[in-house]
Structure 1
Amino acid sequence: MKSTGIVRQLDELGRIVLPKELRENFNLGYKDALEIFVEDDKVILRKYQPGDIFDNNMADLLEYKGKKVSIETIKNLVEIAKESGYKV
């Protein structure tokens, strides 16, 4: 892990401000969502990027009507449709 040398204090509501340089480096804009992870004694922030609506897979995503679906999910849905007797 790389140290930035930046120290911030929590305010009375438990908030911190991410320095402008970090926000720019990670392309974080106003109201962007961040995911919060905990690993041992670390809190990890990551820009939220939604995955496949069915299994949250992040690989080979297509967007359809504002939702993300992976190619693998589409293939699985086609197989399910075929097994159910639908012409695909």
Structure 2
Amino acid sequence: MRSVGVVRKIDNLGRITIPKEVRGNLEIKEGTPMGVYVDGGKVIVKKYEPQCVFCNSTEDVVDFKDELVCSECLSEIEGKVT
């Protein structure tokens, strides 16, 4: 992970801003859904990508009974239901 040399303070509501240059480089626009993850002592912020609850694939993900499932796993589920 490389540093971009920018330090931001957390405001009184617990927010930080992502520098304009970083948003531009990563094509993050207003309204882009972002995921916040914790990895050990690190906070990771990245573009949110829906993923399959079974295989973590981000390809062809659909909502199936309030869960996100990829088309491959959905086909496997439907094949096992008789």
Q: How many Å separate the matches in 1 of 2:35 and 2:61?
A: 21
- Over the aligned positions, Cα root-mean-square deviation in angstroms equals 2.5
* SS of equivalent to 1:77: helix
1:75 counterpart residue number: 75
Query: Residue 25 of structure 1: CA displacement?
Result: 1.3
* SS of equivalent to 1:38: strand
Point out where structure 1 has 5 or more consecutive residues left out of the alignment.
none
CA contact (8 A) 1:33 1:47 kept: yes
CA contact (8 A) 1:50 1:56 kept: no
2:27 counterpart residue number: 27
1:41 counterpart residue number: 41
Query: Residue 31 of structure 1: CA displacement?
Result: 1.8
For residues 18 and 62 of structure 1, do their structure 2 counterparts lie closer, same or farther at Cα, with a shift above 3 Å needed? Answer: closer
1:13 counterpart residue number: 13
For residues 11 and 62 of structure 1, do their structure 2 counterparts lie closer, same or farther at Cα, with a shift above 3 Å needed? Answer: closer
Larger radius of gyration: 1
How many residues align? The count is 79
* SS of equivalent to 1:11: coil
Q: TM-score, normalised by structure 1?
A: 0.70
Query: Residue 57 of structure 1: CA displacement?
Result: 2.6
